Amino acid sequence: MGKINNQQVIQSLTSKFGDRITVPTEPFGLLTFGTSADNILDVLRFLKEDGELKFNYLTDITAIHFPELELSIGVIYHIHSLTNNIRVRVKVFIDGNDPRIPTATSLWEGANWMERETYDFFGVNFEGHPNLVRILNVDEMTVFPMRREYPLEDPNRVDKKDYFFGR
């Protein structure tokens, strides 16, 4: 069904961006590469508007937190070319203390809520987003709960202390 394969995507990406993207890998056949926050919009626009690649469908935007890394927040885009039936995954790692990345809402309207969700849980500031406010959590919340430093349960609760269980 697919008209182009991963190799062709890699070729046109490296010829266009050179060392502005990292070396692509293919975990489980899904082409994955990284880039920087400065280049992400160019990469996404190229993928979307190139006449041959036609990655016209934004599947998902999410983030991941590696506290031990210097650039600790990774923003992950899954993009799909419906005509070629091929997916790519683009990763951008940014500074966890000041996570900023340009918004993709200029390319896809559908990025709006995905970026709001990512902001809500990881605190990533999507610069230029029309309405970057919390979406699933309460507005009064001050933390970004999916970051690793926030434990699942309140560490101050006393009803699960060991001495209640004879330990």
Partner 1 sequence: MINHPVLSDNDPQKETITLNLGPTHPATHGVFQNILEMDGERIVSGVSTIGYIHRAFEKIAEHRPFYQITPLTDRMNYCSSPINNMGWHMTVEKLLNIKTPKRVDYLRVIVMELARISDHLICNGILGVDTGAFSGFLYLMEEREHIYEIYEEICGARLTTNIGRIGGFERDFNDIAFAKIKKFLVKFPPILKEFETLFNRNRIFIERTSGVAAVDPEVALNYSWSGPILRATGVDYDVRVNEPYSSYEDFDFDIPVGTTGDVYDRYIVRNEEMWQSLRIIQQALDKIEKEPKGVFHADVPEFYLPPKEEVYNNMEALIYHFKIVMGEIDTPKTEVYHAVEGGNGELGFYLVNDGGRSPYRLHFRRPSFINYQMYAPMSAGMLLSDAIINMSSLNVIAGELDA
User: Judged by CB, which is closer to partner 1: 13, or 89?
Assistant: 89
Strand partners, 80: 57, 87
133-162 mask for partner 1 (x: CB under 8 A)?
--xxxx------xx-----x----------
107-126 mask for partner 1 (x: CB under 8 A)?
-xxxxxxx--x---x-----
CA distance 7 to 63: 26
CA distance 90 to 81: 14
User: Judged by CB, which is closer to partner 1: 32, or 102?
Assistant: 32
Estimate to the nearest angstrom the gap between the alpha carbon of 133 and the chain centroid. 17
Site for partner 1 in 41-100 (CB under 8 A): 56-60, 62, 64-65, 76, 78, 82, 85, 87, 89
Strand, helix or coil at 13? Answer: helix
# of chain residues touching partner 1 (CB under 8 A)? 37
Q: Which residues contact 97 (CB under 8 A, 6 or more apart)?
A: none
User: Judged by CB, which is closer to partner 1: 7, or 137?
Assistant: 137
Report in angstroms the alpha-carbon separations of 82 from 24, 90, 127. 21, 17, 28
Are the beta carbons of 71 and 63 closer than 8 angstroms? no
By CB under 8 A, residue 27 contacts partner 1: yes
The contact set with partner 1 (CB under 8 A) reads 1, 27-28, 30, 32, 56-60, 62, 64-65, 76, 78, 82, 85, 87, 89, 108-114, 117, 121, 130-131, 135-138, 145-146, 152
